[in-house]
Amino acid sequence: MDNLRELYQEMILEHARKPRNFGVLPAANHHAHGHNPLCGDEITVHAQLDAAGNVADVKFEGQGCAISTAAASLMTDMVKGKPAAEVETLFQNFHNAVTGKGGEEKLPTKLKVFAGVKDYPMRVKCATLAWHTLHAAMHNEAEVSTE
């Protein structure tokens, strides 16, 4: 179990140091800004949804702690090319897993790295900020806060 935890920590640090899909997305047609006033994390998600509601592309920008940045990086990797309904399911499953409501087994392997966050309530908002921001963007809400 300790080896698995170490592997998960390494993956989080890797995505925090070298986030994927970081930057502005000029073709985006959905945007939202998210803020976690508790720790100062801020993120803007830019999503390009096609006519069918699929996430054709997604990027993020902003600043935050390692958990927040890694969560945004992994989230953007996971939702590209997915239909809105599948993204919504991923969001719900992720939120349930990191808030201790169960469902970790429903997460793709890459997202399971965040399941341990449930043991650190102050970090849950860091891990979910990007997801809440993407959710807001997809529902044409410009702002979201974890408070």
Query: What pLDDT score does 115 carry?
Result: 86
Q: Using CA atoms, how far apart are residues 105 and 96, in angstroms rounded to an integer?
A: 11
Structure token pair of residue 143: 């702002």
Residue 138: give its domain's CATH number.
3.90.1010.10
Helical segments of 24-119, H only? 66-79, 84-98
Convert the pLDDT of each residue in 92-111 to its tens digit.
999 999 999 988 899 998 89
What is the residue range of 25's domain?
A: 2-145
Residue 63, sorted as left (phi over 0), alpha (psi -120 to 50) or beta, turns out to be beta
Give me the number of domains the chain comprises: 1
Model pTM? 0.93
